[in-house]
Amino acid sequence: MPNIVDLFSLDAGVLEMFTRGSVIYWLLFVLLRFAGRRDVGSLGVADLLVLVLVADAAGNAMSGDSTSLGDGMVIVTTIVGWSVVIDRIGYYVPFTRKFLEPSRVLLIKDGKINHQGMRQEHFTRGELMEQLRIQGIERIGDVKRMYIESNGQISVIKMSNPDKTGESTLED
C-alpha cells in the first residue's frame, strides 16, 4: 500500500497537467460552441464541459489504476478555473459574449415561421410543431415570438389577441 505522500505526488508536474487540462477544455469548448445548441440541451457549453471533464478527471484520480491524486486535482482545478474565467469575462466584458455563447435565434415572428432561423439551427418543421405543442400552443398564429435561446431551450411569447385562423400545430 502506498503512503499518503505518494498518493498526492505529481507524476507529470503542475505545468503539464495545467496544459493538458487547458488544451482539452478549449478544444471541446470550441467544438461544442459551434456544434449547435440542440445537442447541448438546457446546459450551457461551459457547464457541460465542466460536468463531463471534471467527472472524467476526478474518476481517473480516484481509480486505483491512477498513480497520482495530485495530477487529478490539478486537472479538476484547471477545468473549474477556466469555467470561472469564462463566466467572469462574459460578465465584465460584454462584447465577448457573442464569442463565448451564441445569441438567441428567432423561429417565429407574429405567427409566421422564420425560415432563415430554422435553417440556421437545422430545426425541422416537425420539431417546431412539437415544441409548440409542448408549450401548449394550438396554432402558429397564437405565437408572437418563438426563440431558441443560447442554452438550447425554447421560449415562446404568446399573442395577446391570437389569430384563430392560423395553421394548427396538431397537423403533421
Q: 54-96: per-residue pLDDT in tens?
A: 777 666 654 445 556 677 778 778 888 888 898 899 899 999 9
* pLDDT band per the 50, 70, 90 thresholds, residue 51: confident
12-37 pLDDT, tens digit per residue, is 778 887 887 788 788 877 776 766 55
Q: Is 36 exposed, middle or buried (0-12, 13-18, 19+ CB in 10 A)?
A: middle
Q: Is residue 11 within 8 Å of 68, Cβ to Cβ?
A: yes
Q: What pLDDT does 147 receive? A: 95
Number of CB atoms found within 10 A of residue 169's CB: 20
Residue 153: half-sphere exposure toward Cβ, Cα within 13 Å:
7
Residue 38 or residue 10, greater confidence: 10
Q: Which of 114-118, 124-128, 148-152 has the lowest mean pLDDT?
A: 148-152
DSSP letter for each residue of 106-164: EEEETTEE-HHHHHHTT--HHHHHHHHHHTT--BGGGEEEEEE-TTS-EEEEE-SS--T
3-state secondary structure (DSSP) of residue 105: strand
What average pLDDT score do residues 128-137 get?
A: 92
β-sheet with 105-109: strand ranges across: 112-113, 105-109, 143-148, 154-158
- 164 has pLDDT over 80: no
Q: What pLDDT does 40 receive? A: 45
Instruction: From residue 167, give the alpha-carbon distance in Å to each of 20, 114, 154, 163, 172.
Output: 53, 14, 19, 10, 11
- Give the alpha-carbon dihedral of 104, 105, 111, 114, to 10 degrees: 170
